[in-house]
Amino acid sequence: MMQFDERKYEEIKKNNKKAIVLLSGGLDSTTTLAYALDKGYDVVTLSFDYGQRHRKELENGRRIAKYYDVDRKVFKIDLTQIGGSALTDDNIQVPQRRLDEIVSIPSTFVPSRNMIFLSIASSYAYVNRIDNIFIGVNAIDYSGYPDCRPEFIASMQDSINKALLRDIKIHTPLIDLSKKEIVELGMRLKAPLYLTHSCYEGREKACGMCDSCQLRLKGFMEAGIPDPVKYEKYPDWYEEWYEEYLRKTEKRFNIKEREYE
Ligand SMILES: [Zn+2]
């Protein structure tokens, strides 16, 4: 059993730059990881194998942690036992809606997911004397999940600290950013965005049609940078922009090499 030495904890706390980053393997969490590392935090990443349809993201998370040479812990919590979400129940389809239809809570909502993740992160933080948790939630270009909003994060931070009698801070560097700004931040921090996986379907290539794919493509398009990951197909508006981009820049984007020529 680990023994707690409060004096030692106070000492570490004085210059505590340790942080947990919740890393799903998507664009937002990877940019958040790049941000925390850029700020000089000593990072451990936590990922969750919750029975998600897009299990592929776990492999991407592994590759991203390896890219940055940071520790990675994977927690298994089988949320398919609860189901009720397109991400945890194979009988529920991932919706395909137009961008302007993304206003209500979709069937991909996994109830309490961020609360469960942050609870486990807080437990890990307590035991390992970590005072900072980074989560890449975003309340601008998002699917409408209520647990991505600042009021939830503030109340969760309050609950964690009441539960633990510690002073743990939940950092949400992306919360007020548009997808365009997230892509720009990721690029500026040289995050390996080509390694990320955002699609809910979890097939080899991204579907290009789910909320997550479309919000992501919109972000890249508005940032003026083609998305480096492979898609089964693009929405019409992205396809049009992409063709125009190639014509204008006379650049070819070499998807195989994942680099700009
Ligand atoms: Zn998709």
Return the pLDDT at 4: 54
pLDDT digits (tens, 9 = 90+) for 218-231: 999 999 999 999 99
Domains and CATH numbers, the chain: 6-200 (3.40.50.620)
Residue 248 C-alpha to ligand 1 middle, in angstroms? Answer: 27
CB neighbours of 135 closer than 8 A, spacing ≥ 6? 21, 22, 29, 32, 114, 117, 118, 121, 153, 170, 171, 172
Residue 219 C-alpha to ligand 1 middle, in angstroms? Answer: 14
Residue 166 C-alpha to ligand 1 middle, in angstroms? Answer: 39
Alpha-carbon distance of 68 to 154, in angstroms, equals 29
Residue 169 C-alpha to ligand 1 middle, in angstroms? Answer: 32
Residue 209 C-alpha to ligand 1 middle, in angstroms? Answer: 5
Residue 252 C-alpha to ligand 1 middle, in angstroms? Answer: 24
* Secondary structure class of 112 (helix, strand, coil): coil
Residue 138 C-alpha to ligand 1 middle, in angstroms? Answer: 18
Return the pLDDT at 240: 95
Spans of the chain below 70 pLDDT: 1-16, 102-103, 251-261
